[in-house]
Structures are given as C-alpha cells and as structure tokens.
Amino acid sequence: MLDYTITKQCKQTRARAGHFNTGHGKIKTPVFMPVGTLGTVKALSPEDLKTCGAQIILGNTYHLYLRPGCKVIEQFSGLHRFMGWEGPILTDSGGFQIFSLAKLTSIGNDGATFQSHIDGSRHLLSPEGAVDIQACLGSDIMMCLDQCIPYPADRSAVSEALDRTTLWANRCRNQWQAQHNGENNLFGIVQGGMYPDLRRRSVEQLTSIGFPGYAVGGLSVGEPKDLMLEMADVTLPALPDDTPRYVMGVGTPEDIVELVALGADMFDCVLPTRNARNGQFFSRTGNMNICNSQYRFDRRPVDEECGCYTCRNFSRAYLRHLYMAKELLAYRLNTLHNVFYYLNLAREIRDSILNEHFPDFRAAFYRQRGVKI
C-alpha cells in the first residue's frame, strides 16, 4: 500500500509537499505527470523524459487497449519494458476516453459498450476489465472506472453518474484485491459535476470504500475556470489528508499553482505536449506563439532563464524556421521545452513549500506574467 508522507504543510494555504513510494521509484509531490497516451510522451524518448526530470508518466488505458493491445504488452510484462521507461506509470481507467473519443453505444451498471475510434470494433469496458487491463499494463497507479459527465449537466444526470461511479469503484476495488492481490495502487475518482453537495457525497462514498489515493475527476470539461476552482476547493479538503490527491486533466500553469494552494498533489495535462505541437511555448512571462513573425531574426532562446536542452542550444529564429517548415525536430524541441517548463514549475512549487515561501512564489509567479492579484 501507498505510504504518503507530508514533509511540509504550508501555513497560509492548503499547499503541501510530500512523497510516496511505488514499485518503480519514489514520487515527490506536488508532481506533474507528462501524458504518454500510446506508450510514448509524444515526440519524446524515455531519455528525454529523464533529462527533463519526469518522475512519473501517464498512460491511457483506452488507447493502449486498442493499440497495440494487451497481448503485445504482455510479451514485455507490462508497459515499462515495452516503452523503455523505468520510472512509475499511472494509467487512467479508459472511461474518460470512451466518453470523449470513442462512440459510446450503451452504458449500464456492468460497464460501457463502445466502438473503437480506429476501426469501429465493439468492446465492453467493465469495472473489472478496466482493472485487469491496467494490471496487464503493469501500472503503478491504476484508476477506477468512472463515469465522467460533461458540463453543463442536470443534477439528476450527475447524481446518477456519481452513484454508478461509486458502484464501479467498489467493483474495481474488489477485483484489485481478489484478482491482483491488491498489488500496486488503485485510486478512486470523485465525480459530482458542479454540485458541491454531490462532490461531498462522492467523497464520502469513496472514502468509505477506502483507496490508497483519490483523484478529482470531471473538472476542466468546459466549465468556467472559477467554477473549476470552486469544485476543487469543495472537494480537496474533504479527502483524507494522508493520501495523495490527484486533479485529473488539469491544467494551465496558473491552474496548477491555484490547485496546489487548494491542496492538490498530482496533475496531468496534455497542454504542454499538445501546445508544443501547435507552436505554443510556455514561459515564465506567459505564452509565446513561435509562428509570430517578430521572432524571425530573434537570436534569443525562448526563455533565457530556462535550463532545457532547447533553450540552452537554439534560438527563437531557428525554432520558428523549423516550425514553419514543419520539420520533425520542431515537435521534439518544442515538447522538450514545454514538458521541462511544467516539470520545473512543479519542482519550484515544491521547493517553495519546503522552504516555507509558497505564497511568495505564487505572488512572483503572477508578477512575472504581468498579472495583478
């Protein structure tokens, strides 16, 4: 079982720094987890991820189940050896992708039936199946199958999805214990849409089942930012102090700073990787679109203070040239920078908590971006 230790608790906010162990190494929180959908963080090698300082990466169960499939990954005794990543891996349950990417054909208490977005083939994902697939992937942190609901949604629809999520969480936990000896870790996922009382009900139901860690799901699904933060503010403190709290699929650098202040420990998001492929760089002073003609002759790196391979070696002019010419190297160099930026942000947040100046860090973070708070 996961042994989460809080090293330092911020006195002015709910921010905390901690650590826990997995079968593939220790994780220091707050932590950002780059998204490696198909057994690769897009455009990066495992060596690149190490160089950027990634502690743990995320794999998408839905994608990996369809391609290359469990039969292939079993040959390698799991995703780690298949993709050459020696650190911890967290896998989602596949639920979110079924609702967002596949064609969902029916949903019931036994699971979700869907058609593959690749070849239209039909599949049933049951709570037990979600755990079995993740166990086959060798995931260090598995997630319960949950029903994520879009925004906006009726209270009755949210309530129904919440209850089904609890039912599935129970079945996932049973499968994990009975079939997989409770090995590695299984996290429960809080749902409840944008209804504070439903969020609290979900927390109560999940914590009474009991998990090594908890995630807040169903955020960043189209709701206004204030509402997202309000729901996190309601949910996070209701979760047990002595387990990691993971806010799924969120978000911008600002979101991460704010969610840490509310008590979140773990994050994943496609923004650094996806934006990189769209020519968008994250930096201390804000975002930069490398297509902009003002960078055509610019000999400076993207961020003069950044220690990533891209900023240490290449100019904005060169990065712009590569991106405009659609050169493959552009995607790697851009991704290297953005992933380094996010990982470094999490490191700086953690250091500031350990050094008891997280509120100062937070103020400086906004000052650098020219945001008045």
Residue ranges binding its own copies (CB under 8 A): 38-40, 42-47, 67-68, 71-72, 75-76, 82-84, 277, 296-297, 299, 309, 313-315, 317-318, 320-322, 324-325, 327-329, 331-333
CA angle 57, 58, 61 (to 5 degrees): 150
The Cα–Cα gap between 221 and 235 comes to 16
Nearer to its own copies, 245 or 332 (CB): 332
Beta carbon of residue 295, minimum distance to its own copies (angstroms, whole number): 10
Name the 3-class secondary structure at 57.
strand
Buried b (16+ CB within 10 A) or exposed e, 7-46: ebebeebbbbbbbbebebeebbbbbbbbbbbebbbbbbeb
Nearer to its own copies, 71 or 372 (CB): 71
Q: Which residues contact 373 (CB under 8 A, 6 or more apart)?
A: 363, 366
Beta carbon of residue 38, minimum distance to its own copies (angstroms, whole number): 5
Name the 3-class secondary structure at 274.
helix
Tokens encoding 84 = 């050459």
Nearer to its own copies, 131 or 322 (CB): 322
Nearer to its own copies, 76 or 361 (CB): 76
The Cα-based distances of 314 to 3, 49, 94 in angstroms read 42, 19, 38
Nearer to its own copies, 39 or 95 (CB): 39
Q: What are phi and psi of 57, to 5 degrees?
A: -125, 165
Beta bridge partners of 268: 33
Q: Which of 48, 140, 268, 303 is catalytic?
A: 268
Name the 3-class secondary structure at 191.
coil
Nearer to its own copies, 187 or 331 (CB): 331
Beta carbon of residue 277, minimum distance to its own copies (angstroms, whole number): 8
The Cα-based distances of 45 to 11, 110, 239, 339, 349 in angstroms read 39, 38, 35, 12, 26
Beta carbon of residue 33, minimum distance to its own copies (angstroms, whole number): 18
Residue 268 annotated among the catalytic residues of the structure = yes
Beta carbon of residue 136, minimum distance to its own copies (angstroms, whole number): 14
The Cα–Cα gap between 67 and 179 comes to 24
Beta carbon of residue 237, minimum distance to its own copies (angstroms, whole number): 40
Q: Which of 92, 146, 265, 303 is catalytic?
A: 92
Residue 298 annotated among the catalytic residues of the structure = no
Beta bridge partners of 281: 288
Q: What are phi and psi of 195, to 5 degrees?
A: -110, 110
Give the active site residues. Answer: 92, 268
